Amino acid sequence: MIKDTKDQYQLIRLDNVKVVEQWNDLEQILVESFAHIKSEWNEDEKTRLLKHIADERIQCWGIFKGKELTAFGTTALSTEFWGERRLLIFSLYGFNKITLEVWRTLFLSLAKYARSERCTKIVAYTTNKRIIQIVKSIGGTFSAFIELEI
């Protein structure tokens, strides 16, 4: 449990089977959480995302304040590019303002999960200044990701 000055927050890994079962309710949240990577989705791409969630290639996370879902995130365990196991954060999406200290603590909670999965690092691509500030405050580094459509 993560304590904020007013309320308590909790990072919970969502059961992938339940995410699939609740796809109609969660589809828009998932698509919006990936907006920084992809702004428009066709049905085939949404189906592929759902398949990756169903086969647990993508993990879904909820950040709850009491029973209210206040943020959502997705991760994937990867060895493809680095030759060592890493937790890749695909997306973080907040519905309401969450303090920097809570985000910082949530990152540390993800680090515990990553260690339990034998990961050596957490990696992500972002230009979000708040996220960069948080990551730097817990000893992380920042480098930009670029994309060029061809």
**CATH value at residue 114:** 3.40.630.30
The model's pLDDT over 81-98, given as tens digits with 9 standing for 90+, comes to 667 888 988 888 888 787
Instruction: Specify the number of domains making up the chain.
Output: 1
**Assigned domain for 72 exists:** yes
% of the chain surpassing 90 pLDDT: 19
Average pLDDT rounded to a whole number, residues 52-65: 90
Is residue 19 helix, strand or coil?
Answer: helix
Task: Give the predicted TM-score (pTM) of the model.
Answer: 0.77
**Assigned domain for 97 exists:** yes
Lowest mean pLDDT among 21-25, 53-57, 98-102: 98-102
Give the pLDDT confidence score for residue 3 in this predicted structure.
44
**Assigned domain for 108 exists:** yes
Average pLDDT rounded to a whole number, residues 19-39: 80
The model's pLDDT over 100-117, given as tens digits with 9 standing for 90+, comes to 888 888 888 899 999 999
Burial 80-104 (b: 16+ CB within 10 A, else e): eeeeeebbbbbbbbeeeebeeebbb
**Assigned domain for 147 exists:** no
